[in-house]
Amino acid sequence: MLNDKTVLVTGGTGSFGKKMLRVLLESYKLKKLIIFSRDELKQFEMSQHLKPAKYPCLHYVLGDVRDKDRLKFVFSGVDYVIHAAALKQVPAAEHNPEEFIKTNVLGAMNVIEAALANRVKKVIALSTDKACNPINLYGATKLCSDKLFMAANVAGNGDETRFGVVRYGNVLGSRGSVVPFFKERAKTGVLPITDDRMTRFRITLDQAVHFVIKTLAMTKGGELFVPRIPSMKITDLAKAIAPKCKQELVGIRPGEKIHETLISEDEARNTIEFKECYIVQSQPELRRALLADGKKGRGRPCSEDFRYSSEQNDEWLTVKELRKLVEAISDDYAIENSRWSMQDVPQ
């Protein structure tokens, strides 16, 4: 589907964008791959290893999703958009709500308008577990963004441009992940644990990227895709990273949840369960079509009291399994100011 097509990734210099870039270059023969972000330094660093001269399809474009006119210009000729640009630090959102609204909500509106104006084929927007029953401003902005993208399928340009949303939880080893924090604090001999009951879903960057590419092919408009992934206990993750360290309870932070929820009871009545994922479709006519497809693919409606939460999961990672995952995480993705090593460059 992506061969000889133009793909644009907003927020393309983040952890997800870097991994998506590698996968797309390795797996497809793209006409053009546009990395759109506002960070000129990160674009420069990426271009030192992935040079446009070597990869003629690769284009680095500066811009901000807050700038609607810039988006409309850059989206010209684009076939598919993966919208990963966002402000996402929970404490920062509480202290700077206007900035998060400008990027996560108004930015989403700008992406939608630019995609419709340029008749982009499909747009996949990345969401977060914090958008499900949000208790902090970041989650609220992402929930609003999700609703905007799903509504765009109804009030858009017919079937010419289709919008879908992918919701998953914390990415193990990405920037902002607890893994590099635990690794650094392990040097002190003590790991701070906010609550020893805390659980989280686990997804790797590689899994997240490949799931998004799958949804790009699957979406018919208006779906919220949720991958089926295992859970982990935060205390087990701490043991996997530093088994000899003492764990010290420090109390839950403002805006933080004890457990992670990806599908709420209120969304369950609109949810279809498949082998690899759940699909939430709020439009009745599209949900009926999805149910028909589900019968062919062994999909089934979820019960109305269903809830997909990390503490109620059927699949759990052991300390040993978590240790293997942590060991496999490259520091290039785990540290904020990382630099790409040459072994990360697709050959």
Q: What average pLDDT does range 30-47 have in this prediction?
A: 94
Pairing of strands 271-273, 203-204: unpaired
Measured in Å, how far apart are the chain's first and last C-alpha atoms?
Answer: 22
| Whole-number pLDDT of residue 263 | 96
Residue 347 has pLDDT above 60, yes or no: no
Residue 296's pLDDT is: 62
* pLDDT of the residue at 181: 85
Q: Does residue 156 register a pLDDT over 90?
A: no
Q: How far apart are CA 132 and CA 139, in angstroms?
A: 7
The DSSP line for 108-150 is: HHHHHHHHHHTT-SEEEEE--GGGSS--SHHHHHHHHHHHHHH
pLDDT at residue 35 greater than cutoff 50: yes
pLDDT (tens digit, 9 = 90+) per residue, 249-274?
999 887 788 999 999 999 998 999 99
Instruction: Single out the catalytic residue among 130, 142, 239, 257.
Output: 130
Structural tokens at position 90: 């929970």
Count of Cβ atoms closer than 10 Å to residue 13 Cβ: 24
- Pairing type for strands 246-249 and 223-227 reads unpaired
Q: Look at residue 335 and tell me whether its pLDDT is greater than 50.
A: no
Residue with tokens 């799903």: 150
The first and second tokens of residue 249, run together, are 């309870």
The question of whether 130 is a catalytic residue gets the answer yes
Its sign, for the CA torsion 208, 211, 217, 222, is: negative
Extract the tokens encoding 13: 């210099």
Domains of the chain: 6-344 (3.40.50.720)
Dihedral sign computed on CA atoms, order 214, 215, 216, 220: positive
Residue 51, pLDDT score: 82
Q: What's the pLDDT score for residue 287?
A: 73
What are the tens digits of pLDDT across the range 18-29?
999 999 999 999
Pairing relation of β-strands 122-126 and 162-166? parallel
